[in-house]
Structure formats: C-alpha cells, structure tokens
Amino acid sequence: MAKILKKYDKRTVGLLRLPFIQKVLKQPFFTTDLVSNLVKECENTIDEVLFPIEEDKEETKEQKGAIMVATEPVKGIFRNTVAALLTMKEIRRVSSTKDHFSLPPLNLSHGHLIHSFQLNSPIPIL
C-alpha cells in the first residue's frame, strides 16, 4: 500500500502517503514486541512440555497419552509462530526504495534454528 501511495505522490506531487504511514506507525502490528513475547511464551511452553523436570519417573501410560494429546495444540502454535517469523523476515527484507518509513531488516538471532523445523506445508522454507 505504501509503495502505491509513493508512486501516486510522485506523479501528482501530493502528500497522501505521509498521513497514512504516520497512522501505520502507531498500529500494534508495526512493532515486533508482541510477536517476540509470543515466541518467548511458546518456547517456555515447549520446554515445559517436551523437557519436564523429572520428579516422577514412574508415569502411567494414561499420563503419557495425556501429555501427547496436550502437545498437539502446542505444536500447531509453534508451527504458526515459525511461519509468522519467516513471513515477517521476508516482509522486512532490505528494500530497493529505502526511505525513513522503511522497516529495518528483521535479524533473527536463531534464524538457522527456525529454518531447521519442518512445517507440514506444501510451501518450502527458503
């Protein structure tokens, strides 16, 4: 949308883009704080479910089955989080038309780890 407005502004010498971008900068989806908090929360949940503190080593089969059922939604959330991070990284790549409204590139500290997860999707992770 910003690129369309930028082209329109160049052709008409108007200033439609500036108010639009200023409103976008105030939106909660513009910052990555929310996604970062969700990722941390997801990592903590995965650690608790997949690597529990081994207090009771004698678990019954019913308890193990309950844990397996409980991890299914977590796996879905984790897959969605990984997909969202990869999408954000792609969106925030370095732009050829850079200005002060451009988003900085998203540098994921564990990018290699994210790419190592196999998502059940027909779209490959590049």
Amino acid at 65: G
Share of the chain above pLDDT 70, in %: 46
CA distances from 116 to 72, 92, 113, 119 (A): 19, 21, 5, 9
Nearest to 70 by CA among 40, 49, 55, 52: 49
**CA separation for the pair 42, 11 (Å, rounded):** 46
Give tens-digit pLDDT for 66-108.
555 555 666 677 777 777 777 777 777 766 666 666 666 666 6
Q: Residue 108's pLDDT is what?
A: 64
Residue 20: pLDDT band by 50, 70, 90 thresholds? confident
The answer to whether residue 14 scores a pLDDT higher than 70 is yes
The answer to whether residue 57 scores a pLDDT higher than 60 is no
Helical spans, DSSP H, in the chain: 2-12, 17-25, 33-50, 61-91, 111-116
Q: Is the entire prediction scored with pTM above 0.75? A: no
Q: Residue 69's pLDDT is what?
A: 55
Which residue has tokens 């999408």? 87
